[in-house]
Amino acid sequence: MASVEVSVENRIVTVTLNRPEAMNAVDPEMRGLLHQTWERIRTDDEIRVAIITGAGDKAFCTGSDLKKTMPAQETFAQQAFARAGSGAIIAGLATDKPLIAAVNGYAMGGGMELALACDIRVCSENAQFALSEVRVGSIPGSGGTQRLPRFVSMSNAMLMLLTGERVDANEAYRIGLVSRVVPQRELLAAAREIAEKIAANAPLSVRAVKRLVAQGMDMPLAHAIDVERYVFGLLYSSEDRIEGRKAFAEKRKPNYKGR
């Protein structure tokens, strides 16, 4: 059985990290499969939204499997400049397509960073989140120190990062780390409901919105609004925008084609 399961239905891909016996920790084989999966999500036009989750009822992902991950043989300079791509779990995951993390159980270290790399996070009532690298003399190395303060308050981010302590599902919801907390049996259905609503929208508009939000956070407001107006103009005469208005007038569901 593959350590990463991928299924596509109605333009939604569900990616399941499938090593429940190891808390869905990522070994070298799974890492390679994940990188292939991220490439497929980016390039497959039939995929509009992705849901990422973990197999079993105990863990979403607990980061790298240290028992199976040997120290790198290359120098850091070789890793940074000579290797074709980063070995990080989330390497290659950057995409304009929306990503939903359905977090069941533990999301620790690199597993939490994978969830942070997604646009929307929903979790089950038994979810636990932690970036505990400082406890073992390291730091989060896949965006944790940069993404977490952007999603929750600086004080809450620093509390998690500097203590390395876990937060449960209710605390994650309180600080804005997740959008919803649901019973575990309802988790995938809740994520699927969100994905279906997104997939039904005009794909170029959805991807444009995600890019605008991501890039605009690093721009002065006036500049960001100028870019927003430019993108509005790009989409103004698109087939999908015209189809959306026709469908509204004719009181029917639009048939968006991404054009």
* pLDDT for the residue numbered 176: 97
What are the extents of the domains in the chain? 4-199, 203-249
Q: What is the pLDDT of residues 69-78, one digit of tens each?
A: 655 666 777 6
pLDDT of residue 258: 86
Report the DSSP pairing between strands 12-17 and 4-9. Answer: antiparallel
Joined tokens for residue 94: 């950057």
Strand partners, 253: none
Report the relative pairing of strands 120-124 and 180-182 from DSSP bridges: parallel
CA-CA-CA-CA torsion sign (20, 28, 33, 77): positive
- In the set 9, 21, 39, 133, the catalytic residue is 133
pLDDT confidence of residue 69: 60
**pTM to 2 decimal places:** 0.91
Q: Which fold has domain 203-249?
A: Lyase 2-enoyl-coa Hydratase; Chain  A, domain 2 (1.10.12)
Which stretches of the chain drop beneath a pLDDT of 50? none
Catalytic: which of 5, 21, 113, 186? 113
C-alpha span between 52 and 103 (Å, rounded): 8
Q: Which of 51, 65, 74 is nearest to 122 (CA)?
A: 51
Say how far apart CA 147 and CA 151 lie, in whole Å: 6
Tell me the β-bridge partners of 137. Answer: none
Domain 4-199 fold is 2-enoyl-CoA Hydratase; Chain A, domain 1 (3.90.226)
CA 112 to chain centre: 10
74 catalytic, yes or no? Answer: no
What was the pLDDT predicted at 216? 94
Q: What is the pLDDT of residue 103?
A: 98
**Structural contact between residues 106 and 128, judged by C-beta atoms closer than 8 angstroms:** yes
β-bridge mates for residue 53, sequence order: 16, 102
Would you state the pLDDT for residue 86?
A: 59
**Dihedral, 195, 198, 202, 207 alpha carbons, nearest 10:** -90
Q: What is the pLDDT of residue 75?
A: 74
125 is catalytic: no
